[in-house]
Chains A and B, each alone.
Chain A
Amino acid sequence: MSFWCSANGEPWTWSWQAYPGVWLFIGLLAMGYIETTRRVSDSETSRRRPFFFAGLVILWLASDWPIGPLGAGYLASVHMLKYLLYTFAVPPLLLHGLPREVIRRAIDRPFVFGVIKIFARPLVAFAVFNVVMLGTHLPVVVDGFNPSQIGSFTIDMAWLFAGLVFWWQVLAPLPELDPLSYPGRIVFLIVNVFIPTVPAGFLTFADYPIYALYELAPPVGTLSSRVDQQIAGMIMKIGGGFIIFLTASILFFRWHADEETDRREDGKTGSVTV
């Protein structure tokens, strides 16, 4: 039994494996949420709760058997799917699922507030997200970290952290932290489409497998290591790009709707004035 999924070099079997560290981690997050929202039990919490727990379910699915171990030690494509879930699916759901009062309480200490202020800056968020994305896909990091449980856990947590920093810019949960305007958020999203093209390009167009870990792993099915790597590259580029453009489109329509509302309200105010 292992605490966290890692590459152990054993032949893959479809027999279920227990990862108690994953259950502990998800359980602690769930208990923490229930405990902190108990004191702010209002309509906002009940409206946001499903999002938080949807995020937790996806986090659990991405970390536990079979996605967790397959991604950690057997298939680069599943590793990339896991990365996408950790950075593009789980963080926005967790952030959106947190009642604003809970976030305000959590950062209501000078030190925490100062740290959040730093990571809430768009350039810092851009740097953190892209450095983590590039760094955790370097062959030396993937091959070096994934064989150990602590290493694999570190990569997963780095993805989750980078995802939370990234989506903080997009969801802008606290107006008092001077969030980006709608067009600013759209630009932030679009800018983040380009840098993943570099690792995705290497994965898709490399002549030979980049990661020794997946190339030399006991095979799962008939997928060759090169095709597996090409699928990983496409998941990174197309999957990530799709989520970013979808979110940018949603923001654009919200921006348009807000503008319309403002214009209508201005019109009403104007008619009263005249």
Chain B
Amino acid sequence: MRQTWTRWLAIFVSAAVLASCGPGRPPASALRGRLLLDPWEKPDFSLTDTDGKNFDFQAETEGFVTFLFFGYTYCPDICPVHMANLGAVLKRLDPQIAGKVKVVFVTTDPERDTPDRIRDWLNSFDSSFIGLLGSLDSVNVIQQRVGLPPAVIIEANERDASYTVGHAASVVAYTTDDKAHVMYPFGTRQQDWAHDIPLLVRGQWSIVDSR
């Protein structure tokens, strides 16, 4: 009887050890975002920022970890949650880490999102966030070049002509090698950002790529 118990205990411990070392479990330092096994190139595009100046995406973000997100200020759920979570985490991170991060928001609703509105909206999360505008056609071309689906305007309410915009819900993270190794879908939490941003800034995305 005693031997049977010992045997079962040994099997259980072995299984637990194997499970913790197996290929299904990422290494401790693995990123929590969604991995892009074939990294995306950083797109080359220019749009207008909220000050009315030309913003060359590749040149202005060179040497920074850059989070690129396409959304709109009237968005009731995904956009404010992503921006609020990123803003909250960047405020709490070591300034040396946070200072090497840029957040770029591109509106998919140029009809309603004026430069002032975008600026005010972004300032409510973090005044360092960059807001960009362009025609919906040009923004959609950029999204497709990035690897995201184009935005679609959904007519929702005929009475007051209000509408929503269907858009990609993921934030694309470009690292200092000008590639995106990881993207962050809706549902990414502040503790996930806080875990991943220092790794991305330190260039430790390669731990993930080598898996």
Total residues of chain A contacting the partner, CB 8 A: 15
* Cα distance A217–B81 in the bound complex, in angstroms: 8
- Option from B76, B88, B186, B194 in Cβ contact (under 8 Å) with A216: B186
* Cα distance A209–B189 in the bound complex, in angstroms: 8
Contacts of B208 in A (CB 8 A): none
A30 on the interface (CB 8 Å rule)?
no
Total residues of chain B contacting the partner, CB 8 A: 16
For window 220-259 of A, CB contacts with B under 8 Å fall at: 222, 224-226
B147 on the interface (CB 8 Å rule)?
no
Contacts of A208 in B (CB 8 A): 88-89, 92, 189-191, 194
Judge whether B194 and A207 touch: CB under 8 Å.
Answer: yes
Contacts of B189 in A (CB 8 A): 208-209, 212, 215-216
Q: Kindly count the residue-residue contacts between A and B in the assembled complex, taking CB atoms under 8 Å apart.
A: 42
B136 on the interface (CB 8 Å rule)?
no
B80 on the interface (CB 8 Å rule)?
yes
* Cα distance A75–B77 in the bound complex, in angstroms: 14
* Cα distance A226–B189 in the bound complex, in angstroms: 12
Closest A residue to B81 using CB positions: A216
Contact flags (1/0) for B64-91 with A, using CB distance below 8 Å?
0000000000001100110011001100
For window 163-197 of B, CB contacts with A under 8 Å fall at: 186-187, 189-191, 194
Closest A residue to B92 using CB positions: A207
Instruction: Summarize B's interface: helix, strand, loop or mixed.
Output: helix
B124 on the interface (CB 8 Å rule)?
yes
Shortest A215–chain B CB gap in Å is 6
* Cα distance A222–B76 in the bound complex, in angstroms: 12
- Option from A9, A217, A219, A225 in Cβ contact (under 8 Å) with B88: A225
- Option from A218, A222, A226 in Cβ contact (under 8 Å) with B81: A218
Contacts of A217 in B (CB 8 A): 81
* Cα distance A123–B187 in the bound complex, in angstroms: 41
CB contact under 8 A between A209 and B190, given known A215-B85, A226-B88: yes
Shortest A213–chain B CB gap in Å is 11
What residues make up the interface of A, taking CB atoms closer than 8 Å to B? 9, 11, 207-209, 212, 215-219, 222, 224-226
Task: List 19 A–B pairs whose Cβ atoms lie within 8 Å, in order of A's numbering.
Answer: A9-B77, A11-B76, A11-B77, A207-B194, A208-B189, A208-B190, A208-B194, A209-B189, A215-B85, A215-B189, A218-B80, A219-B80, A222-B124, A224-B84, A224-B88, A225-B84, A225-B85, A226-B88, A226-B190
- Given contacts A219-B81, A224-B84, A225-B84, could you give 17 more A-B pairs where the C-beta distance is less than 8 Å? A9-B77, A207-B194, A208-B88, A208-B89, A208-B92, A208-B194, A212-B187, A215-B81, A215-B85, A215-B189, A216-B186, A218-B81, A219-B77, A219-B80, A222-B124, A224-B88, A225-B85
